[in-house]
Amino acid sequence: MKKLDNCYVFLFDGYSDWEPALPMYGIGSFTDINIVTFSLNGQPVTSGGKLPVQPQASLEQAMKADIDLLILPGGAPMEQGANTEVLPLVQQLLDRQKTVAAICGATVLLAQHGFLDNIAHTSNHAEVLKALAPAYKGGDFYDNSPAVAASQIITASATAMVAFTKAIFNHFDLQENEQLKFWFSFFDAGSAGTELENTLPFHFFYRRYETNYAGMIELVRTAIKVVYQQAVEAGLEICGAPQWHYHGFDGQPDTVFTLDIGLPVTEVKPVTAPWQCETLPPFKCVGMQHHGSWDLLANTYGKLFAGMGMLGLQMNGYTREQYLRYNFEHPEKNITNVQIGIV
């Protein structure tokens, strides 16, 4: 694992404030890594979004610091030849085998001074980079990807804040931190599947039970078999995996709660009690796929509850489990989509 104790972020008048924001928030909120902002002279700066910021240090102080990661945000001044004063710090860190992460206009600054001539890198566009950095000789190493991590230099385009953050986190193995990984999964489309979503309405054929934990366990091997039989007898067309919907379940063994067990169907038809068939409204929820035995579902719920707490999301007491794949002989192959309703 690469050492990351101190992260320094260079700020200047007109810096693109959204570009370093996501990695700074993740590092600052979920790790004990020290983050220090600095400007050339330590004086206040105003971001491109007109945010006044008081940096914590000056470039002179940064030159004397033990820095593991330097983040260079973009902004028009970077593309116009400004901020060359920071280049000795960049060279010093690279000489010490430390990491420099540059996004948007900051990649232009590096290209203008030869730092990208011999390593894989990206920027806003290969031709734009050539136009803004006439001395640039790294065209053969240009990678048309949102973000590129090569040795000690990470580069990204202006619109690739998420990819830039992911490259930094992966470079330092920060996603081994479960809390940070859960939080970042809401931004990362390539993650394991944690989502904030508002599901579409669908038609649901089901039976409602008032039960407790022990009574619920007794339904595991029987209820789905019966609901399939009843759906077919009712002439309904099944169009999805079995689902269990929990109302007011708090995990305590003696708490009586409402449990709806059923199947998505293509249309609503009249059915005979105790069966019900209706269109369920959109469902605002946090979702995550659980891979493996249902005995371990508590682990997935624990991650969701912890993550929702970190994000300040309030549960509404309604949870759905969708059994995308279930195998009683090989439960380790199960795939269950868990959706926890939020206010």
Give me the percent of the chain exceeding a pLDDT of 90: 84
Answer whether 6-177 and 197-342 agree in fold: no
Residue 189 has a pLDDT of 65
Enumerate the domain spans of the chain. Answer: 6-177, 197-342
Q: Which residues contact 44 (CB under 8 A, 6 or more apart)?
A: 52, 53, 54, 55
Residue 299 has a pLDDT of 84
Residue 215 has a pLDDT of 94
Handedness of CA 341, 265, 186, 250 (dihedral sign): positive
Q: Tokens for 328?
A: 């009683």
- What phi and psi, each to the nearest 5 degrees, are found at residue 102? -120, 140
pTM of the entire predicted model: 0.70
Residue 197 half-sphere exposure toward CB, CA atoms < 13 A: 14
Statement: residue 191 has pLDDT above 70: no
Statement: residue 192 has pLDDT above 60: no
Q: Which fold, 197-342?
A: Multidrug-efflux Transporter 1 Regulator Bmrr; Chain A (3.20.80)
Angle subtended at Cα 228 by Cα 223 and Cα 229, rounded to the nearest 5 degrees: 100
Stronger pLDDT, 150 or 182, i.e. the higher one: 150
Residue 194 has a pLDDT of 67
Check: CATH 3.40.50.880 for 6-177? yes
Question: Cα(261)–Cα(275) distance, rounded to whole angstroms?
Answer: 10
Q: 207 pairs with which residues across the strands?
A: 261, 275
